[in-house]
Amino acid sequence: MALGKGRSKRSSGPWVSTTTTVVFVALCVFGVYMLTPGTLISTDTTNRMSVSKSSFQTTDSKQDTSTFQDNPGNLPKDAIKTDEDDNAKNSSSDQVLEVASADDQKQDGLAQIVADKKDQLSDEHAENLVKTAAAEIEHLDTKDHPTGENVKRQADAEGNSEGLKGTVSEEEQQRLNQQEVQLSEESSMTHNQESDQEISTAKSDDNRKAIQNTFETMEGQNEETKDEKQSGSKNDRAGHSESADNENTLEENKRKMQPESHDNLKDTTNKVSQENEQMEQQQRQDWQQDGIATDHEGATSKDQIEHDESTIDSTDSSDDRMRNQDTVREEKVQTQKQDAQKDQPVTTEDKGKDNKHHQRKRKKKQPKPSTVEDQSFATGEGGIPNESVESKKTWSTQADQSDNHNERKKSPSENQDGSLYGYSWQLCNVTAGADYIPCLDNEKAIRQLPSRGHFEHRERHCPEEPPTCLVPTPQGYKTPIEWPHSRDKIWYHNVPHTSLAQFKGHQNWVKLSGEVLTFPGGGTQFIHGALHYIDFLQKAAPEIAWGKHTRTVLDVGCGVASFGGFLFDRDVLTISFAPKDEHEAQVQFALERGIPAISAVMGSQRLPFPGRVFDLIHCARCRVPWHREGGALLLELNRMLRPGGYFVWSATPVYRKGPEDAQIWKEMSALTVSMCWKLITIKKDKLNMVAAAIYHKPVSNVCYDERKRKQPPMCKDDDDPNAAWYVPLQSCMHTVPVDEAERGSHWPQEWPRRLNSAPYWLNRSQMGIYGKPAPDDFVSDYEHWQREVSKSYLSGLGISWSNVRNIMDMRAVYGGFAAALKGLKVWVLNVVNVDSPDTLPIIYERGLFGIYHDWCESFSTYPRTYDLLHADHLFSRLKKRCKLEPVMVEVDRIVRPGGKLIVRDESSAVGEVEKLLKSLRWEVRLSYSKNNEGILSAQKSDWRPESYEVASQ
């Protein structure tokens, strides 16, 4: 390296000795090493240092070396960039030296030092000293910028730096390394690579000053210089509490310095490397103990954790990835240094900084389960709290209103020998076979009915003990055809029934064509297609306004539910129902097609829906005797129909003139008039050769008050129109709400605005389910599920949503989960439990639909009819009333092979559900717990037991 001066021929003076020269070189290298930001840590750690552009200050050339040890690079405290500094970055670029001049500064500084000391050194000693120092400085450069031409220079300087490491004692080296790690950790919070060049520039200046101070120290400076050293060291300790023990340690270390061999240094490095590997392995075990554990594809296993560790933040730059990989090593080195420095005083402020920084590093390194991001459980940060105990005092439940609701008691589950996870399963030995619905196929209870005149045998009669057997799968069952193709055809073997095709084939209900059943038309009343019929009704009564004014529809006696299936094209949500009768499997056809439907009958009890919730009720040749027994069945429709809602009746009495049809029309007309229903129009569809009568329910009580004959009578004040679970039919009418703040006094907002808006009748004086005022509770629930579905459900649970069509929310509150899925081509049946606050009217008000149910009993649907079930804090509540074993059997019955279950609940309940699912051979794809809350995602297999249970008598 050219220094600008030729080699002098002067011989060294007698005062120069070999020993002095060695000390010169040793202390020179010692000064250089005090500049090194990472002696035993990786080069990448050094790269993380970030310095604000305005923080570089000029320093006195007589700066003490102990001061530099306290603050490598002589950076003021505010020069170490923190997260807060990112928002207050100073743009004074004129205070920063250009990187391009760094090399020149190094050369000038060295030349100046040699020139000042040329009278005290021999030419040979001076040249060797300069070469050694220059090589070491270049080695530091390459550690900060290990790319490009510096790589070669780093290799050249490697020999010198390795050979000189032994001049520093092991104790001194440990102390310096601790200081360097602490400074590196403070700097790593910023990840600002732009300041790397600034650090390099500042170092070139500080290196020159440090070497100057080394020479001054060796000359034996006067007492004034020593006082300055002590003063500078105290000032730096005030700015950086990490070096509180550095005062007077320089002189002591000079006396204790002993050479360290390369072998000892290599052994130390290998030992640290082995301990780092042990620490990484221990940390992976700690992560697993945090609750991340599954054994199946799509779950977070040991291999997945190792994969996540190597691919953290894959979208980050390569420098960011290297920083993440060095975190574990830094923590290990920090732990070792803290053990070695236990006797040193540590301030409260230091502890706070260390703890906060350690938490930040652990949070960034923590792997996430199967891309589920920061699960916000019901009681967690950002989530919604558990149900408020006080709220139960202000909300009624269906269990309170029911006349025939037997409270289920919790009883312990018994393990059986020869079982899996303590459970043993057999197939159900029933005549219903693969179509078994326990509460509708209870032959023992049906045989004991005293009468069947009101279709009691088609109503629910659940077994005293819920079944724990499994329903067999039809032979040849296939994965259902996806929506919307399923609306037109389904696999025959999935619903292997042909009687309906034989009886109704001429009416275009359903036809058998090879391995598929096709649905070419719309049904009895719209042979030429349901869409034509739907548009025909719109023209007959434009005020219906499909998809805007009219959103929720009830289809009575639905057949194969083509009416509701094609109303999806008009943005209308329809729930269809029909009994399980001689027209076998019509509801099963509907569900297999991907159309909402339940098995139910209008008999002696109310349907499981609230009052005043449907915008329109439809009956196309449904053969329901509306006119009989004082119109009890039509009055049930009146209970469920919203004030101002519509009833569409397209049956033979409307357009045929036979004696029977004429008599029915006459009685029907008298009944509707007495009910104050207004006949808007009767229109005939010439293409289908049918006609429809459209009625309108009143929006006030004026007509009721003006009736001369008070028949049908008005219901008593204590008759709640929302009471529906096991409540007998009432042949009366409920008054229309007139209070502006009462539900039913106004029509809901047009769709889709009604979806996200809290109903007008939710007032702030009423406490919501989660303890906030009701409108705020509604908003919190909506925001919570929007966040959870978008962040976790759609991408983090391993679910292919293109294969999902039929969904059931087993415990809906405000319908937030269903609302969050609005953008998908799915429909969600919201279930409000009979012992939960009655929030089902809110769900309908926002343009969704649902049903009341008690999960201690079987649900009124065919087996294998849902693609996905969602249970949010359901099972922990059910455990207080009934066994979980039959509940999980019911879940297994409802879900299609390949279908999914998502459970969010208390960790104990999730663990119990997981054990039951595994015993049923379900594939648990995700099981994750946090803060005593858990989430589970599982998929049903096609496994069935081989043996049948003993037939019941």
Domains (ranges, CATH) in the chain? 485-706 (3.40.50.150), 753-940 (3.40.50.150)
Distance CA 735, CA 291 (A): 55
- 323-327, 409-413, 505-509, 893-897: least confident range: 409-413
pLDDT tens across 470-491, in order?
Answer: 999 999 999 999 999 999 999 9
Residue 70: pLDDT band (50, 70, 90) is: very low
For residue 676, is pLDDT > 70?
A: yes
The partner residues of 541 in beta bridges, in order of sequence, read: none
CA 841 to centroid of chain Cα atoms: 28
Distance CA 710, CA 583 (A): 38
Residue 72: pLDDT band (50, 70, 90) is: very low
Give the pLDDT score at 699.
Answer: 97
Distance CA 585, CA 591 (A): 10
H or E element at residue 755: helix 753-756
User: CB–CB of 898/939 below 8 Å?
Assistant: yes
User: CB–CB of 283/328 below 8 Å?
Assistant: yes
For residues 373-378, average pLDDT: 43
SS3 content of the chain, % helix, strand, coil (to 5): 45, 15, 45
pLDDT tens across 248-301, in order?
Answer: 444 444 444 444 444 444 454 455 456 555 655 554 555 444 443 333 333 333
Give the pLDDT score at 622.
Answer: 85
Count of C-beta atoms within a 10 Å radius of residue 821: 21
C-alpha distance from residue 278 to each of 270, 281, 282, 302, 839 (Å): 13, 5, 6, 16, 54
Cβ-based neighbours of 94, under 8 Å, separated by 6 or more: none
Which parts of 238-332 are beta strand (E)? none
User: CB–CB of 641/886 below 8 Å?
Assistant: no
Give the pLDDT score at 774.
Answer: 96
Distance CA 897, CA 326 (A): 46
H or E element at residue 238: helix 223-239
Give the pLDDT score at 390.
Answer: 62
User: CB–CB of 621/653 below 8 Å?
Assistant: no
- pTM of structure: 0.63
Which parts of 116-256 are beta strand (E)? none
End-to-end Cα separation, the chain, in angstroms: 104
Give the pLDDT score at 584.
Answer: 72
Give the pLDDT score at 886.
Answer: 97
Give the pLDDT score at 425.
Answer: 96
For the chain, helix (H) and strand (E) counts, in that order, are 31, 17
404, two tokens? 């025939």
> Going by DSSP bridges, is the β-strand pair 614-620/641-650 parallel, antiparallel, or unpaired?
parallel
Cβ-based neighbours of 210, under 8 Å, separated by 6 or more: 31, 32, 34, 35, 63, 65, 68
Count of C-beta atoms within a 10 Å radius of residue 839: 22
Half-sphere exposure of 800 (CA within 13 A, CB side): 6
Residue 914: pLDDT band (50, 70, 90) is: very high
For residue 109, is pLDDT > 60?
A: no
What is the per-residue DSSP string for 361-386? Answer: HHHHH---GGG--S---TTSTTS--P
Largest CA distance in the chain: 141
- 45-59, 91-105, 731-745: least confident range: 45-59
Half-sphere exposure of 821 (CA within 13 A, CB side): 23
Does residue 344 sit in helix, strand or coil? coil
- Across the chain, mean pLDDT equals 73
Give the pLDDT score at 343.
Answer: 43
pLDDT tens across 603-656, in order?
Answer: 999 999 999 999 999 999 888 999 999 999 999 999 999 999 999 999 999 999
Percentage of the chain with pLDDT > 70? 55
For residue 372, is pLDDT > 50?
A: no
Distance CA 287, CA 584 (A): 54
What is the phi/psi pair of residue 17, to 5°?
A: -125, 165
Distance CA 40, CA 272 (A): 9
Give the pLDDT score at 280.
Answer: 52
For residue 352, is pLDDT > 60?
A: no
For residues 929-940, average pLDDT: 95
For residues 154-181, average pLDDT: 50
Distance CA 77, CA 71 (A): 8
